[in-house]
Amino acid sequence: MSHLRPEVRSRALELIALYPERRSALIPICHLAQEQDGWLRPEAMEEIAELVGVTPAEVRGTATFYDMLHTEEVGTYLVSVCTNIACLLGGALELLEHAEETLGVRAGGTTEDGAITLEEAECLADCDRVPCVQVNHRYVGGQTPESFDRLVADLRAGRLTDTVPSHGTLVRVRRSVGLQADRQEVARQRAAMAGAQAARAAERERQKAAAGEGGAGSASGGGQG
Amino acid sequence: MAVTETPRIVTSRIGYEDSHTIDRYLATGGYEALRKALSMTPEAVAAEVDAASLLGRGGAGFPAGRKWSMLRKDPVTYLVVNGDESEPATFKDHLLVERDPHQLLEGVLIAAYALHVSLAFFYLRGEFALGLERLQQALNDAYAHGAAGHDVFGSGFSIDVVVHPGAGAYICGEETALLESLEGKRGFPRIKPPFFPAAIGLYGQPTVVNNVETMSNLPWIVLNGGAAFAALGQGRSAGTRLFALSGHVRNPGTYELEMVKTTFRDLIYAPVLGGGVRGGNELKAFIPGGVSAPWFGPDQVDLPLGQDEVAEAGSMLGSGSIVVMDSATCMVRAAWRITRFFARESCGQCTPCREGSGWLERVLYRIEHGGGREEDLDLLLDVSDNISPGLQWPPLQTTICVLGPSIPSSIHSAISMFRDEFLLHVKEGACPHA
């Protein structure tokens, strides 16, 4: 029994078809799973693993690297308050403190009604409107404590559902076409390239042999594990 | 002053409410550059870009033409656009993606043609939900218009483009980490050599990675010629550039300016640009090119906005983002917040970066919150020196990527420029600005 709904699963298969290697679709499909469930459920990660051909642990290991992929439940609205340098200079820490007090949760927590998860974010690239706030990754402009309270009231009353879909829905515009470039032509180019690469590799081997043992000393000194 | 006469190369449409639509794009000369490029040989298109002396707009400032020419001998397999804009206080690519996605896409199609590439990827940071939607819509419309896909405009050239969302990680702006992420893995930077994308990139194949702003310049360069672009600016800094101005200025925003011809003073104080320091306060310091860059004081405000000029003065123009701090700013707090960012975003592969960033953040935190000691200043510099020996500029590297060596910049700057302020925190056992 598939955890992902048939429509979501078929969208996942469409995504996989866009990439030369199926694992590339891992993160985009994680977004789709979050669109369905609001967060990344273990069942979803197992199914994604099967879809892209890796183990569930590899899906979890990848997902936990990324701030936007949530392996624990998230509120309907993820409110992200940036406190990085430009926002800091515009009073972001004070705004975050206000948000924590009025919502009754610390950054990282979710309100009891499950409506709002508050998050302290790194720079969201909207630094001329500070302090920058996003709700479910939609910009809502620079906020003051007063406007923040109105924003929360609007979210709770469902007045922003048109502009801010519930958490997990990232891209509402679907790709309209599959890949079109001539695959045979691409294959021909790839073959030519593989030939060139083999030639280069052979050349490197030849040079290496000519120069004797290369040694392992790398310029960056990062190979000591 | 020259600031109002700047030609608008990448921001010509942003005044339109519907600047992101294909209708507006076609009504303002859209896809004419692609048609022109397709009438030329790929090599001639690449030569125009070379002639433009376009430096990459991502942060490192590597010549785009050279990035392409490194691959001329071997077929390039993939073109990847770096739209992971996450350097703190940098918000120019955000503007270009949301407000003119077709211009960006046209640049990518031109580059793909010049490089003989048939598959290109946009890696866009996941937090750009609106940008992702607009770019996907633009791509759908471009396919329907015949500008992308099979047999573009009847030229025989075929190209597919895929919009790929990131998922929140600063490190994925580093090009090899971006490629790992695009392969569906954790964003761990790869060691160079051997993993230069031009040689061993996406799926191990030769790959060109270019920034959003770099790509957005290409339609203008093809239409007007590389020489026209190179005639703007001065020296190695050709053309115009987007500068993202934030912090304590009256008019923060993104401004397109001719390089070198404008100074930091113009940008911060000109009424049509920054409009001066907020509240008429004194300028205390400014960051000239993203938080990885060493800071400047008021005495350096007359430096021109040029790559080499800023480098010679001991910092970098980097990602083109300028942060202004006024006289009321606590410099310990500023340095602490920047350092905490690096501590949170370190991928964890290399010990100096992973451990050092956390120690530095905790020491700065305790100084800011009244628990600091005088010897903490030496400790901060000592740990910094372990991440980047000698604390010189440009920094030496002990790590796989440049995130680590970027950490000491703000700390070293803050202590060098505002040592007394640190000592006052220690002496008073509290932040004097609180």
Q: In what order do the strands lie in the sheet with A116-121?
A: A116-121, A77-82, A132-135, A138-142
- How does DSSP classify residue A2? -
- Note whether A153 and A190 are same-domain residues: no
Give contacts of A160 with chain B, Cβ < 8 Å: none
A127-to-A86, A131, A212, B245, B252 alpha-carbon distances in Å: 6, 8, 55, 8, 8
Residue A94 placed within a domain = yes
Residue A56 placed within a domain = yes
pLDDT band of residue A219 (cuts 50, 70, 90) is very low
How far does the CA of residue B227 sit from the closest CA of chain A (Å)?
32
Architecture of domain B235-326: Roll (3.10)
Residue in the block written with tokens 């120069």: A211
A37-to-A24, A29, A110, A174, B303 alpha-carbon distances in Å: 21, 12, 16, 19, 52
Residue B280: count of CB within 10 angstroms of its CB: 8
Give the CATH number, domain containing residue A143: 3.40.30.10
A51-83 confidence digits (pLDDT tens): 999 999 999 999 999 999 999 999 999 999 999
For residue A109, pLDDT over 50 is answered with: yes
Give contacts of A65 with chain B, Cβ < 8 Å: 169, 186-187, 347
For residue A85, pLDDT over 50 is answered with: yes
- List B residues 401-430 in contact with A (Cβ-Cβ < 8 A): none
Residue A11: count of CB within 10 angstroms of its CB: 19
- Note whether A109 and A43 are same-domain residues: no
- Note whether A120 and A151 are same-domain residues: yes
The pLDDT of residue B79 is 96
Q: Give me the residue from B163, B165, B191 closest to A220, CB to CB.
A: B191
Domain count, chain A: 3
Residue A171 placed within a domain = no
- Cβ separation B125–A69 shorter than 8 A: no
The CATH number that domain B3-230 falls under is 3.40.50.11540
A156 — phi, psi (to 5°)? -65, -30
- Note whether A196 and A145 are same-domain residues: no
Residue A73: what residue type? E
Give contacts of B87 with chain A, Cβ < 8 Å: 123
The pLDDT of residue B2 is 47
Residue A204 placed within a domain = yes
Torsion region of A158: left, alpha or beta (phi above 0 gives left; psi -120 to 50 gives alpha): left
Instruction: Supply the range of the domain harboring residue A103.
Output: 77-157
The pLDDT of residue A222 is 32
Residue A34 placed within a domain = yes
- Cβ separation B159–A181 shorter than 8 A: yes
Residue A223 placed within a domain = no
B207-236 confidence digits (pLDDT tens): 999 999 999 999 999 999 999 999 999 888
For chain B, how long is the longest CA-to-CA vector? 74
Residue A114: partners with Cβ closer than 8 Å, 6 or more residues away: A73, A75, A76
Residue A187 placed within a domain = yes
For residue A183, pLDDT over 90 is answered with: no
For residue A45, pLDDT over 70 is answered with: yes
- Cβ separation A122–B170 shorter than 8 A: yes
B166-210 confidence digits (pLDDT tens): 999 999 999 999 999 999 999 999 999 999 998 899 999 999 999
Could you tell me where the beta strands, DSSP code E, fall in A44-187? 77-82, 116-121, 132-135, 138-142
Q: Token pair of B21, please?
A: 């639509």
Average pLDDT for A27-52: 98
**Length of chain A, in residues:** 225
- Note whether A45 and A14 are same-domain residues: yes
CATH of B331-428, one of 1.20.1440.230, 3.30.413.10, 1.10.1660.10, 3.40.50.720: 1.20.1440.230
- Note whether A140 and A86 are same-domain residues: yes
For residue A208, pLDDT over 80 is answered with: no
Task: Name residues of chain B where pLDDT drops below 70.
Answer: 1-4, 70-74
